[in-house]
A and B are shown apart, each in its own frame.
Chain A
Amino acid sequence: MKKQIMYVLFALIVTIPCSAKGIEPLDALKGPVDQVLDILNDPHYQDAALKDAQREKIWETTRQAFDFEIMAKLALARNWKKFAVQQRKEFTGLFAELLESTYVDKIQGGYEEEKVLYLGQKMVSDSKARVTTKILRNGVDIPIVYSMLNRNDVWRIYDIKIEGVSLIKNYRTQFGHILAKDSPDQLIERLKQKIELQEKKRTKKD
């Protein structure tokens, strides 16, 4: 019996990533983005008491669309080598949490029935692609370009450029400045404090 369960588990683990095989980068992006829009439009979540549940659901959907490991590595750039294996793991988790606490609230709070247009995709190398989108917000078009990376046959986002300004570049410069004088442990500590602070702000608002 135990063996059978193991087989089923194994089959599940193997098939989940494979199911994305052959999917184009644009579709890989469209899926989660549309899902998030659906969650935001869902009248079920209008109730203020369900805001946390909605937030959790948005994060669950977005989490799968991003390749946080690569993002953390790109953001740390040369400093990645200074981090021990354990520190890298911790940093990756915290970086993902930081992005969550910074952006999910903004998406949730600032949503005004924006529409997302998918303008096309372009392969820039064997494993990298750009997907160009546009957000229509109150008559203003905001161009957003997603950089996607194909790893293990799954397309995931590793950078976002809004109006041509890169998210990774922003964090790379900041982390570079911090790590010029502080140690990796201090940076990790700083991230923790920042996340805690944003968490406090959020609960206060609620």
Chain B
Amino acid sequence: MNRSLVETAVGIFVLMGIICVGYLTVKLGKMELFGDDHYSVSAQFQSISGLNNGASVEMAGVQIGKVGSISLDKEEMVAVVKMKIQKGVVLTDDVIASIKTAGLIGDKYIKLTPGGSDEILNSGDAIIETESAVDLEELISKYVFGGV
């Protein structure tokens, strides 16, 4: 009688432990199992050099999402970035997405400058207005030394 009570208690603790480990795995591995609270929009850039998966997407300096996936459009040779934006953050069709560098040589992130149109972007829509990464080195060399 007494022994089975102890065993039940141990069982419950083990079960709780397994649930905790499972939760941590999902959270730390950034997996999304249950109802995602993000929606995705895509954008095309001429160049995204330095932008990584999981880089942050900011508006007014506040993180509102992250880069979900990066791929190459093989026909036009431009970068296609899928962004996951928190639900509740409304984007309009004239929002401008620019690739920025944190500080002078910091990480790259995407900055969204809100627009004022009435057309709201839904999941799967594309941001049309984009600004690519400005390659400072390339620019300097081009205007200092001149092109060929």
Chain A interface residues (CB < 8 Å from chain B): 73-74, 76-81, 122, 124-125, 128, 138-141, 147, 159, 161, 163-166, 168-169, 172-173
**Neighbouring B residues of A128 by C-beta, 8 Å:** 128
Chain B interface residues (CB < 8 Å from chain A): 46-47, 76, 94, 96, 98, 113-116, 128-129, 131-134, 139, 142-143, 146-148
**Neighbouring A residues of B142 by C-beta, 8 Å:** 140
**Neighbouring B residues of A165 by C-beta, 8 Å:** 131, 134
Is the pair B116, A80 in contact by a Cβ cutoff of 8 Å?
yes
A184 to chain B, nearest CB (A): 13
A40 to chain B, nearest CB (A): 22
* Neighbour of A124 across the interface among B113, B128, B133, CB < 8 A: B128
Could you write out 26 A-B pairs with CB less than 8 Å apart? Answer: A73-B116, A74-B115, A74-B116, A76-B116, A77-B94, A77-B113, A77-B114, A78-B115, A78-B116, A80-B116, A81-B116, A139-B146, A139-B147, A141-B147, A161-B131, A163-B134, A164-B46, A164-B132, A164-B133, A165-B131, A165-B134, A166-B131, A172-B96, A172-B113, A172-B115, A173-B113
Q: How far is the CA of A147 from the CA of B131 in the complex (A)?
A: 12
B125 to chain A, nearest CB (A): 11
B119 to chain A, nearest CB (A): 11
Known contacts A80-B116, A138-B146; A74 and B94 CB within 8 A of each other: yes
Q: Which of B47, B113, B116, B133 has the most CB of A within 10 A?
A: B116
Q: Which of B96, B98, B133, B143 has the most CB of A within 10 A?
A: B96
Is the pair A166, B129 in contact by a Cβ cutoff of 8 Å?
yes
* Neighbour of A140 across the interface among B46, B128, B134, B146, CB < 8 A: B146
Q: How far is the CA of A196 from the CA of B114 in the complex (A)?
A: 30
Across the A-B interface, the 5 shortest Cβ-Cβ residue pairs: A77-B116, A78-B116, A164-B132, A140-B147, A80-B116
